[in-house]
């Protein structure tokens, strides 16, 4: 029989109030609180907390406070990563971000959803996750929301305030609610 954590990591419906998961969220929140309390005062200490919190960080990364996440260990970022103020990453499932990526202020990455069955949704007791994957050289504008299960290819730009509900390939500029391609990105690698 699978544990609730195994169910969570496999994208199955899981009990969010499972004691192991509650403990792991508590541990992450303590690190996040320490990180946010530091603000801009001690960049090296802030970077060390992010290194402890995230599943992987590449070379040259910067995350500004106030940052929020569920577990932290499901967040993987490549080299030259930047997350501006007030980003939220609900990492029930993995969030994989490539190299040279920029997140504007208040960007929100949600891998978690609640079941369609109202009995399972009551009291928020059950969740279900879908991985988010973001390619290299992606810029996500301020206030954008990336929904569960979305994959963005390389060299994608997401307009500020957009809600991305489906996946897109390489070299596009998307915007709107729901986001859609507004043009090809003329700057291709």
Flag whether 48 is in a domain. yes
Please pick, among 56, 64, 100, 114, the residue that the annotation labels catalytic. 114
Flag whether 19 is in a domain. yes
Checking if the pLDDT of 111 tops 80, the result is: yes
Question: Chain-wide mean pLDDT for the chain?
Answer: 96
Flag whether 189 is in a domain. no
- Decide if 114 is catalytic: yes
Mean pLDDT of 101-113: 97
Note the pTM of the prediction, 2 decimals.
Answer: 0.96
Weakest mean pLDDT among 54-68, 77-91, 105-119, 137-151: 105-119
Sheet of 56-57, strands arranged across: 56-57, 75-77, 95-97, 132-134, 151-152
Per the CB < 8 A criterion, the answer to whether 83 and 65 are in contact is no
Range of the domain at 78: 4-184
Flag whether 65 is in a domain. yes
Flag whether 85 is in a domain. yes
Flag whether 71 is in a domain. yes
Flag whether 77 is in a domain. yes
**DSSP H or E stretch at residue 157:** strand 157-158
What's the rounded Cα separation, in Å, for the pair 147 and 139?
16
Checking if the pLDDT of 11 tops 80, the result is: yes
Structure tokens at 133: 């994957």
pLDDT in tens, 69-82: 999 999 999 999 99
CATH code at position 14: 2.160.10.10
Number of domains comprising the chain: 1
- Give the pLDDT band (50/70/90) at residue 123: confident
């Amino acid at each position: 029989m699978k544990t609730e954590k195994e169910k969570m990591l496999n994208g199955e419906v899981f009990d969010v109030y499972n004691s192991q998961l509650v403990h792991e969220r508590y541990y992450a929140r303590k690190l996040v609180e320490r990180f946010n309390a530091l603000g801009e005062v001690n960049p090296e200490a802030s970077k060390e907390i992010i290194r402890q919190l995230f599943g992987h960080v590449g070379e040259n990364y910067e995350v500004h406070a106030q940052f929020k996440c569920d577990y932290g260990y499901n967040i993987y970022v490549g080299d030259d990563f930047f997350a501006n103020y007030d980003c939220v990453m609900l990492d029930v499932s993995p969030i994989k971000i490539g190299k040279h990526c920029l997140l504007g202020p208040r960007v929100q990455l949600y891998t978690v959803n609640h079941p369609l069955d109202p009995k399972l949704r009551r009291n928020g007791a059950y969740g279900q996750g879908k991985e988010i994957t973001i390619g290299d050289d992606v810029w996500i504008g301020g206030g954008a929301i990336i929904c569960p299960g979305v994959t963005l290819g390389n060299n994608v730009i997401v307009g500020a305030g957009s809600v991305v509900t489906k996946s897109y390939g390489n070299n596009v500029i998307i915007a709107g609610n729901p986001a859609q391609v507004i043009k090809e990105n003329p700057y291709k690698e």
